[in-house]
Amino acid sequence: MLFTFQIYCDFAGYSFIALGCARIMGFQLIVNFARPYMATSIQDFWRRWHISLSTWFRDYLYIPLGGSRCSKWRTRMNLMITFVVSGLWHGANWTFVIWGGLNGLFQVIGNVMKPIKEQTRLCCGIRKDSIWLKAFNILLTFVLMTVTWTFFKAHTLEDALLAISKMVLPAGVLYKPDLSVLLYGTMGVGVLMVCDMLEEKNGKHPLLENDSITIRFASYVVLSMIILSVGVFDGGQFIYFQF
């Protein structure tokens, strides 16, 4: 779960740095992330995550294959092919192939199950705009993405399967985390998700785009202090630089 947030902060972080640097020089680049962990489905997730690459695969692979203009099963096959290829784009490793395949498979299953879910919702008398239904869908999507990220993170297929088995099978405490690191990480994730939820609701960042100039500049100062006090300055590269 923590890697799920780490990869988001890593990739979205340097994407936003690139956007900011480009804007200073007068260039307006495409926004690459739009609060992906607020997604209510895997399909919705890929509208929000790595938008530039998702758009490229849609325009140059999915649509030329026939896109959604074919039969239902051909459309689903096009989707699977697109995501398996996107996995291979990240590296010639079975872990990436399975990562891409799972993302495609979850979308196909979601598409097949859509009428059943709708019928279940109607039978249970749940409103389409129910906040509880939306929260459930967000949580389910997050759990499914955490499973896929396990394969993305692992160096080998054996490592990934071992990690999955440790998630579902009872085991003793094998690792005792540094409590200070865990505390900082938890605080960071908490602030991140609260800001993402508020931005999702209001359409702008609650601190960095606040109407009050005092709150905006106070946010800049506090964030700068946090970066300087707990930031890692050992020269390590961004995770996504390998791609």
DSSP H helices, the chain, are: 2-24, 42-48, 51-57, 72-90, 94-124, 131-153, 157-168, 179-202, 213-230
| DSSP 8-state symbol, 62 | I
CB 69 within 8 Å of CB 57: no
Which residue among the candidates 50, 90, 155, 205 is catalytic per the annotation? Answer: 90
Instruction: Verify whether residue 90 is a known catalytic residue.
Output: yes
CB 207 within 8 Å of CB 43: no
> Quick one: angle between helices 179-202 and 2-24, nearest 10?
60
* Residue 105: closest CA among 152, 144, 135: 144
Class of residue 98 by CB neighbours under 10 A (exposed 0-12, middle 13-18, buried 19+): buried
Active site residues: 90
